[in-house]
Amino acid sequence: MRPQKSRPRDKAAPASVTLSVRIQPRASKNEAVRLENGGLKIRLTAPPVDGAANEALVKFLADRFSVAKSQIEIVSGHTGREKIIRISGVSSDGMESLLLNKDE
C-alpha cells in the first residue's frame, strides 16, 4: 500500500472581513449608518420574524460588496440585534466606505 500524497494547499486563501453590526428591523429603508460610539448599524425594512431580517441583511451586504449571498455568514447573533458577520472574498481595504457610501 502506497502512502497517499497530500495536495499542496493554496497559500493565497481568499480574504475575508468580519463585521460587528447592530440591526434595526422595520426601518423605513435599507441603509448602513455609523453610530456615535463608532459602531455600525444596518437598518432593514424587513421584520424580525422567521429569519426575514437575517435574509434581508445577507442580501443587503451581498449587494453592497458585489459578492454572492453564499459568501456571507452570520457567525453569531442569529436571533438578536447584535450580530457578527463574516464576508469571504473581500479585503478590508475601502470596505467601510463601500458599505456606508454606496447609493441605493
Tell me the C-alpha distance between 68 and 33, whole Å: 22
pLDDT computed for residue 104 by the predictor? 46
Residues facing 16 on adjacent strands: 88
Q: Give the domains, in start order, of the chain with CATH numbers.
A: 16-99 (3.30.1200.10)
pLDDT at 94: 66
Per-residue pLDDT of the chain (104 residues; tens, 9 = 90+): 445 554 455 555 568 889 899 999 999 999 999 888 888 999 999 999 999 999 999 999 999 988 999 999 999 999 999 999 999 988 777 677 677 776 54
Give the pTM: 0.80
Alpha helices in 1-104 (DSSP H): 52-65, 95-101
SS3 at position 18: strand
Alpha helices in 21-78 (DSSP H): 52-65
Q: Rounded CA gap, 56 and 49, in Å?
A: 11
The C-alpha cell that represents 70 in the structure block: 453564499
